Amino acid sequence: MRKIAIAGSPNVGKSVMFNNLTGTYATVSNYPGTTVEVSRGKCKIGNEEFEIIDTPGMYSLLPLSEEERVSRAILLEEEPCCVLHVIDAKNLERMLSFTLQLLEAGIPIILVLNIMDEARGLGINIDTARLEKELNIPVVATVSTTGEGMDILKGKIEAHVKKFC
Amino acid sequence: MSKSFAKHIGYDDPLEIYLSRLEGLLSADYRISRRSVALLILQEDKEILNLVQEKEKTHRQEIAGIIEEAKKHFSHPLNYIISLCRQKEAALISGQVMSVKKNTKNSLRSIVSRAMMNPFIGGPFLLLVLYYGLYKFVGVFGAGVLVNFLEEHIFSSHVNPIMISLVKNTVHFQPLQDLLVGDYGIITLGFRYAFAIILPIVATFFFAFAIIEDTGYLPRLAMLVDQLFKKIGLSGRAVIPLVLGLGCSTMATIVTRTLPTKRERIIATLLLALAIPCSAQMGVIMGLLGDKPLGLVIWLLVIIGVFLIVGFLAAKIMPGELPSFYMEIPPLRLPHLWNILRKTFVRLKWYFFEVLPLFVFASVFIWLGQLTGVFNFLVKIMEYPIRLIGLPSQASVAFLFGFFRRDYGAAGLYDLKKAGLLSGNQLVIGCITLTLFLPCIAQLLMNIKERGLRLGIAMSVFILFFSFAVGFAVSQIFLLFHLHI
């Protein structure tokens, strides 16, 4: 079974994303570092079933804590066919830095701009089409707690997998 | 892995030269781009360095040489310089795609958020949270109202009599009857403790905790106590495992993994095992001391004192750099009821699967011990330290229970109190000693798993002697000042 990993900084909604995709439950809280163990589940996208891996939060590819080491090991050793880099849309600038590292490493990613509702509430507007062009990867805006954008995300995963794996 | 994604970010000139020299030396497959590996080498990532040394035996010296050269060339650490370049690129891109319409309303959220982190408002606010969330809801409602109802109206009056007569009518072998429905029987003791005493307390705690954590209060609490925690060798980050420890210390010991240094993880594990009572235990203690407010205050002060003093000493004994504290402060949010219920349920399930087998095991163990006489022997040994701290010898059974589960021990005291065997002073001393007393079996196993056999055992031995020493000291103080609670 091919794998899809969910990665990103702490407290950006990775576990909610995981729950949405797999229909199972990983503990979700409003503070960084809720996920200390790796959750795995299954999700059918298109006609294929994938293994979804939820990783503890990491700030960069250079790990500082034990959980970050665990997360990096998953990205490097399990060779997921696609990594969903989930970021908090409110902090695009700060979080893009890690996106760039993942791209630099040649890891196949889809950028997920999550928590779009709060970003919109702050008056933030992000041109996702332009961002896709700049980074040359798929970009999706989502609100994982309400499920907004999940269908688009699945569509992009399907297209991505067809093209590259 | 397809390299078609590899994006090129330009770094400053000298850095690029070092990078391309390193890339040229790398010949093995690392599953990520060579450029990325070269960057990690320059930032001296230990794991990657080991890997590279293994895979590129012929170029070891050269690689080490390049790192040294690069380090000398810059006055700042290399990872700082590399991050800076990347951050510039990120700022450039986000500037192109993002626009912000300034939102002028100074939201209520940010005012509340700042208030929570201000020592003068945040401190009293914390006390309010503890008073209503912990004391009123978990202590009075969970451990009082719910436990009484389940104990008196369900178990004592319905479940136990029915089960006892059922077993006595179907099983005619006396020892087996004892195992199931005797004084320490699986049904009469194990199930009763688990469902009538532990379940309502733990459920109310996890429910309250879920609300607190989903609002985003914990990271703010972390900011608030960071300065104090620095004194005991921890950073504000440790708030999360420690507060979770008030629910279940075993679960919290796993969460110490989020602490960045080994030193912090050890101190947090020790404090969790020693001075953080779990919700079940705390609930029972609140029930025990509920009608003695002064006793409750003394208990609280002693536990907090032990927490701070042991933390302070541990930080002194264990050398290490001061922890740095960096934590994202998430926005305050209104929790979703559904997520709270679901999370409470998931934690309860985890807890129960952890606990129930141990309760059954404890009943079997005590039963075996009684059949062979070992149990009575242990109770007799335990009576010495128990009498030393001024408790009646019957309390030694409760302490033996404490070996199995912390809350189990406290529940044992509950039975003694109901029988009218404990004075106010004895109750307070018993509660203090049991709170500090050994971590339960599950937590001991977790300590060994996370911190290693040597440290896990050493902590338990220390705690065993320390808890009785504190109990003894408190009983002497009571005598000295003729205090009667």
B36-63 per-position pLDDT tens digit: 999 999 998 988 999 898 888 888 889 9
Distances (CA, A) of A113 to A12, A91, A94, B353, B466: 9, 10, 13, 37, 52
Phi/psi-derived region of residue B134, left when phi > 0, alpha when psi is between -120 and 50, beta in every other case: alpha
- Of B298, B333, B233, the closest CA to residue B433 belongs to B298
pLDDT interval class at B193 (50, 70, 90): confident
- Which structure tokens are listed for B165? 């007569």
Convert B124-150 into a string of H (helix), E (strand) and C (coil). Answer: HHHHHHHHHHHHHHHHHHHHHHHHHHH
Contacts of B53 (CB under 8 A, 6+ apart): B60, B63
B58 touching A, CB under 8 A?
Answer: no
What pLDDT does B326 receive? 67
- pLDDT-derived band at B1 (thresholds 50, 70, 90) equals very low
Secondary structure class of B43 (helix, strand, coil): coil
A38-95 pLDDT tens trace: 888 999 998 899 999 999 889 889 887 777 888 898 898 888 999 999 999 999 999 9
Q: Which member of B100, B258, B343 has the closest CB to residue A33? A: B258
B244: closest CA of chain A, how far (Å): 11
Is A130 within 8 Å of B347 when comparing Cβ atoms?
no
pLDDT in tens, B408-420: 777 788 788 888 8
Mean pLDDT of chain A: 89
Please give, rounded to a whole number of angstroms, the shortest distance from the CA of B277 to a CA of chain A. Answer: 21
CA dist A88 and A142 (Å) reads: 10
Q: What is the pLDDT of residue B57?
A: 85
Q: What is the ipTM of this complex?
A: 0.90
| Residue B302, pLDDT score | 95
Residues B64-107 have pLDDT tens digits of 999 999 988 888 888 888 988 999 999 999 999 999 886 655 67
**Residues B267/B318, Cβ–Cβ less than 8 Å:** yes
Mean pLDDT of B112-136: 87
Element (H, E) at B61: helix B60-73
Percent of chain B with pLDDT over 70: 95
Least confident window among A23-27, A78-82, B167-171, B180-184: A23-27
Domains and CATH numbers, chain B: 9-93 (1.10.287.1770), 116-167+187-269+277-285+324-350 (no CATH)
Q: Hey, what amino acid is at B462?
A: F
Of A101, A131, A164, the CB nearest to B86: A101
Contact A27 B343 (CB under 8 A): yes
Tokens representing B312 are 């302070």
* Greater pLDDT, B401 or B209: B209
Whether B313 shows a pLDDT value over 80: the answer reads yes
Calpha distance B256→B238 (Å, rounded): 7
- Nearest chain B residue to A119 by CA distance is B100
Is residue B3 over pLDDT 50?
Answer: no
Residue A70 has which token pair? 């665990």
- Residue B13: CB atoms within 10 Å: 7
> Is there a contact between B45 and B114 (Cβ–Cβ < 8 Å)?
no
State the nearest Cα–Cα gap between B1 and chain A, in angstroms. Answer: 7
Contacts of A63 in chain B (CB under 8 A): 45, 47
Q: To the nearest whole number, what is the mean pLDDT of chain B?
A: 85
Nearest Cα neighbor of B429 from B408, B399, B459 is B399
Handedness of CA B45, B51, B54, B60 (dihedral sign): negative
- Give me the residue from A64, A93, A145 closest to B94, CB to CB: A93
CA distance A128 to chain B (A): 7
Q: Which amino acid is at B454?
A: R
pLDDT of residue B105: 58
Which among B36, B95, B210 is the nearest to A104, CB-wise? Answer: B36
- A139 pLDDT tier (thresholds 50, 70, 90): very high
* CA–centroid distance for A56 within its chain: 11
Q: Provide mean pLDDT across the span B8-23.
A: 87
Does residue B117 carry a pLDDT above 80? yes
pLDDT at B172: 85
Q: Return the bridge partners of A87, or none.
A: A113
Question: Looking at B27-31, B156-160, B354-358, which range is the least confident one?
Answer: B354-358
Task: Single out the residue of A145, A157, A122, A164 nearest to residue A4, CA to CA.
Answer: A157
Q: Residue range B288-299: average pLDDT?
A: 87
pLDDT (0 to 100) of residue A36:
64
Name, in order, each residue with C-beta under 8 angstroms of B99's C-beta and a sequence gap of 6 or more. A124, A125
Is the pLDDT assigned to residue B322 strictly greater than 80?
Answer: no
Nearest chain B Cα to A81, which residue? B1
Pick the CATH number of A3-164 from 1.10.3720.10, 3.20.20.210, 3.40.50.300, 3.20.20.70: 3.40.50.300
- Residues in A closer than 8 angstroms to B89, CB to CB, are 97, 100
Q: CA-nearest residue of chain B to A128?
A: B97
Q: Across the strands, what pairs with A49?
A: A44
pLDDT, position A27: 65
pLDDT at B96: 92
Lowest mean pLDDT among B18-27, B160-169, B326-335, B471-480: B326-335
Residue spans of the domains in chain A: they are 3-164
CB count within 10 Å of CB B449 equals: 12
Q: Quick one: average pLDDT of B242-268?
A: 84
Using CA coordinates, name the residue in chain A closest to B94: A93
- Please say whether the beta carbons of A134 and B93 come within 8 A: yes
Q: Is B328 touching A (CB cutoff 8 A)?
A: yes
Which chain A residue lies closest to B10 (C-alpha atoms)?
A104
**Predicted confidence (pLDDT) at residue B378 exceeds the cutoff of 90:** no
For every residue of B330-390, DSSP letters joined together read: PPP-PPPHHHHHHHHHHHHHHHHHHHHHHHHHHHHHHHHHHHHTHHHHHHHHHHHHHHHTT
The DSSP result for B192-246, as a single string, is: HIIIIIIHHHHHHHHHHHHHHHHHTHHHHHHHHHHHHHHHTT--GGGHHHHHHHT
Closest to B388 measured CA to CA, from B433, B424, B438, B421: B433
